Amino acid sequence: MTLNPSPRAAAARKFTAGLAAWFEARGLDPDSEALSGTPGRVLRALDEFTAGYEDDPARHLARVFPVEHSGQPIAVTGVPFTALCEHHMLPFSGTADIAYLPKPGAPVAGLSKLPRVLDVYAKRLQTQEQITKQVTAALDEHLQLLGAACIIRSEHGCLALRGARKPGSQMVTASYTGVFYEDPQARAELHTLFNARA
């Protein structure tokens, strides 16, 4: 008895066959030594770039620690990431500054958790605007806090490599919740923290 292939396996076969057909349409030999393994390699790369669909920010933010803190924001700055644009499937890469202000007496997340939450969303077909909002929404949902913030700066392949072809241009997006949205002074102090250098 032959079992029906899983939808993912069937989709993988269609994808690799489709890419091989595209090679042929471009006048290339999909069975050549150089290209015969390329469809499979492309598929594995795309699976790696979109592994965030199989992850959940709740998993990373569930582990917290009862730490006394000063009532000031907790921030991780300059966190690198790469995502795939959902419009052209070209990469965009940059850094994120992420912060939150715990409620008095609330536990805090481990140091690695903010970058991991960023990766959950960056490893999906994305827009930068969505990632920025998704990070703060996840912090709001899973931590006890007074506000969250995320600022992302990145260079987009769809702007640098095609169309307008403006390499070096950066897109900047920001999301603020709670006190960082409501209080301009708190937001200004947060920006000072983000821009601080040792």
Of 155, 148, 170, residue with least CA distance to 98: 148
Phi/psi at 35 (nearest 5 deg)? -105, -10
Indicate whether 84 pLDDT > 80. Answer: yes
Confidence of residue 2 (pLDDT cuts 50, 70, 90): low
Quick one: pLDDT at residue 192? 93
Confirm if 40 and 47 have CB atoms less than 8 A apart.
Answer: no
pLDDT beyond 90 at 148: yes
Domains of the chain by start residue, with CATH: 7-49 (1.10.286), 56-195 (3.30.1130.10)
Closest by alpha carbon to 117, among 79, 146, 147, 85? 79
pLDDT for 112-128, tens place per residue? 999 999 999 999 999 99
- Would you state the pLDDT for residue 178? 98
Q: What is the pLDDT of residues 95-112, one digit of tens each?
A: 999 999 999 999 999 989
